[in-house]
Amino acid sequence: MFDALIIGGGAAGMSCALVLGSAKNKPYAEHKQIGIIAHQRTSHLQSALFNNVLGLAPGTTGQSILESGIKQLTDLYPHVEQINDEKVSEIIKTTEGFKVVTNKTTHTSKLVVIAVGYTNLLTIKGLEKYIESHPRAVAEKERIWLKNNNHLIENGLYVAGTLAGWRSQFAIASGSGAQVATDILTLWNDGKDAQVHDKV
């Protein structure tokens, strides 16, 4: 069983995985089982070009960020299990957390983070009652969000990125994923605020 399982390998999902992974030496996180279903085919980063993101060279492509994010996670935090070639079809609440059903198997996790983007093509069963029209997107695009309170949909179930109701900007989606990660780290740290900073 995972302690935290992230669904989605775009900006929000990868940021969440990187921050959770970076806490590996903290006593409250050192034995936690973290996974990410790193499905990236539908990420809006696939066709993105960045000229206005702090820290990224102008002309950086979203595709290169997706590739480098996976490599960064693999190189720095290999304890975060990357699950590839699986697509989630259903999330089922259990007494111990959640069952996450994919096209290949069923995973179990105490906490789940959904970070799959805000298109109205979301087909994950078990989330229907949370779907509403996106509050910060052009109505004609028919974008959706999962109704939440500060990223929390219900106990143990989080949403990050544009699907959490945020605008479609790379820095915002990444920050949303990092915010969810620090919320989870705080939970693991018995409610004491937690974040991870590397220093030179």
The full set of domains in the chain, from first to last, is 2-188 (3.50.50.60)
Q: What is the CA angle 19-147-134, rounded to 5?
A: 95
The helix, strand and coil proportions of the chain, stated in percent and rounded to the nearest 5, come to: 30, 25, 45
Percentage of the chain with pLDDT > 90?
A: 77
The mean pLDDT of 43-66, rounded to a whole number, is 90
CA distance 172 to 163: 12
Query: Which residues are CB-contacts of 69 (< 8 A; sequence separation ≥ 6)?
Result: 9, 14, 18
* 69: amino acid identity, one letter: G
**pLDDT surpasses 80 at 84:** yes
What is the three-class DSSP state of 187? helix
Please tell me the predicted confidence (pLDDT) of residue 120: 64
In this prediction, residue 200 carries a pLDDT of 87
Sign (positive or negative) of CA dihedral 125, 44, 81, 149: negative
Whole-model pTM: value is: 0.94
State the average pLDDT for the chain.
92
Going by C-beta distance under 8 Å and a sequence separation of 6 or more, which residues neighbour residue 45? Answer: 10, 11, 62, 63, 65, 66, 170
Gap between the Cα atoms of 187 and 154, Å rounded = 14
Q: What is the pLDDT confidence band of residue 40, given thresholds at 50, 70 and 90? A: low
Beta bridge partners of 88: 102
